[in-house]
Amino acid sequence: MRFTKNRKALSTVVTTLIILVVSVLLATVVTYYAINVTSTRVQEEALHLTKQHVWYNTSGGWAEGAIVILNTGGKDVVIDKISVRGQECDWTNVYFWRTNNVTVSDDLQVTTNPLNGSSVSITVQGASRNFTRASDDITLKSGYTMVIYIMNPDSIALNDVGTTVGITVFTANAQYYKETNVEAAQ
């Protein structure tokens, strides 16, 4: 009996090599795709809240809150809402100042008069800064710093002096929370 050899077929060694090369190429393509997807998503939202205060003016009978927000993430954010002690602050009571060239290292100070009007002047970092009254959501570019003052946040009263309250900043993707004690002013 004669075995006929099919000369058109590939040998086992050649077939194994082809499968191996195709597998390595496929794995390389998948790896490059995964690296590309993750590297474009690296720019995450990240806010750092600091220098938070809530004061109650004992002689004037009004409250004021303040906080510094640094956008340390790789993308711009929109601040949707700010709440103090779980109660949303009306935008007409929120005043803000944005900067990308002033580092706010000094602590924030309470103002001597209640905040009102479309803009107010508040001393921050040793200089008078023009704060604008918010009318809607506030944008904060990547790398920028924003100082926010809030007139009459929540229902802070004389009895709240010494108690802890939380300040929450909401964006489309996250919420950032800091606690502070209510301080007496004047």
CA separation for the pair 40, 20 (Å, rounded): 31
**Average pLDDT, rounded, for the chain:** 90
> What Rg do the C-alpha atoms of the chain give, in angstroms?
29
The pLDDT of residue 42 is 57
pTM of the predicted protein model: 0.77
Higher pLDDT, 26 or 14: 26
CA separation for the pair 18, 38 (Å, rounded): 30
63-82 pLDDT tens trace: 999 999 999 988 999 999 99
- Calculate ∠ Cα 53-109-85, nearest 5°: 20
3-class SS of residue 14: helix
Q: Which CATH topology does 47-185 take?
A: Immunoglobulin-like (2.60.40)
37-47 pLDDT tens trace: 766 655 688 99
83-125 pLDDT tens trace: 999 999 999 999 999 999 999 999 999 999 999 999 999 999 9
Element (H, E) at 17: helix 12-40
Average pLDDT over residues 23-30: 90
The pLDDT of residue 107 is 94
The pLDDT of residue 40 is 61
State how far the alpha carbon of 91 is from the alpha carbons of 42, 121, 125, 150, in Å: 32, 18, 24, 9
